């Protein structure tokens, strides 16, 4: 009886301290609205629009899906494609903390989100996205995704008419009649077959780099690249 009299006050005192911490290894209960703000760290590589893939796959329907299985995404690493992982609160928590710990040698370059509360909030947000109940993202969170414009709408100063290669340089002529020389190492050739990409046969020139001496030419498909470049010196 004496022991009981000692234990009871301790129990009552501890109950007044507030909620008990979660059991070790069990993810915290997250807040989707806060998670929408945390997702701002992810928008450079992931969208939450179905079928809209960036560097990484769309996360629109990630909840309950087997890893490496997003429809239309073809750039998964072999380890992730063959991983026996289904995305839920527990597996997402482990992945977000350290992607390499759950699927070694995957291609995820993000080092991990070490704050358990932020992980819980982000997981709650992704669950809400899958249920069609996603809260709005914080102002500016979608800045990276929205910066990608429709390349079909660019003006004549960006539409490429001809590309000539001579020595160690390219000479790019745009539809407005201007010819711009580039050192060959500073000009990149890219393709964009998405609905936001250029029209077929109508590549576009995009500036790159802070000095104005670098650029990318974006084509609708790979086969257009060799067809467009002419090897010719004056």
Cβ(44)–Cβ(144) below 8 Å: yes
pTM, whole model, 2 decimals? 0.70
CA 83 – CA 65 distance, rounded (Å)? 12
Note the pLDDT of residue 157.
96
Considering only residues 25 and 104, tell me which one the structure prediction assigns the higher pLDDT: 104
Provide the percentage of residues in the chain whose pLDDT is more than 70: 83
Note the pLDDT of residue 221.
97
Cβ(172)–Cβ(184) below 8 Å: no
CA 191 – CA 140 distance, rounded (Å)? 27
Number of other residues whose CB lies within 10 A of the CB of residue 110: 15
Cβ(224)–Cβ(210) below 8 Å: no
According to DSSP H, which parts of 46-191 are helical? 78-81, 89-97, 99-102, 116-130, 143-146
- Name the pLDDT band for 26 (thresholds 50, 70, 90): low
């Amino acid at each position: 009886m004496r022991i009981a009299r000692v234990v009871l006050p301790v129990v009552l005192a501890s109950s007044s301290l507030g909620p008990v911490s979660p059991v070790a290894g069990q993810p915290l209960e997250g807040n989707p609205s806060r998670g929408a703000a945390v997702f701002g760290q992810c928008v450079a590589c992931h969208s939450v629009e179905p079928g809209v893939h960036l560097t990484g796959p769309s996360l629109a329907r990630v909840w309950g899906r087997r890893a490496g299985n997003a429809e239309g995404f073809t750039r998964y690493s072999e380890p992730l494609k063959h991983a026996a992982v289904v995305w839920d609160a527990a597996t997402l928590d482990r992945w977000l903390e350290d992607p390499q710990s759950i699927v070694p040698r995957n291609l995820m370059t993000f080092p991990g989100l070490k704050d358990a509360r932020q992980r819980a909030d982000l997981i709650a947000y992704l669950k809400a996205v899958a249920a069609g109940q996603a809260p709005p993202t914080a102002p500016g969170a979608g800045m990276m995704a929205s910066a990608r414009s429709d390349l079909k709408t660019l003006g004549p100063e960006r539409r490429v008419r001809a590309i000539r290669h001579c020595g160690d340089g390219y000479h790019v002529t745009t539809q407005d009649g201007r010819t711009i020389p580039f050192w060959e190492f500073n000009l990149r050739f890219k393709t964009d077959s998405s609905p936001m990409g250029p029209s077929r046969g109508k590549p576009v020139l995009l500036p790159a780099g802070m000095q104005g001496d670098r650029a990318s030419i974006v084509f609708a498909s790979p086969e257009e690249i060799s067809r467009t470049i002419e090897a010719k010196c004056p």
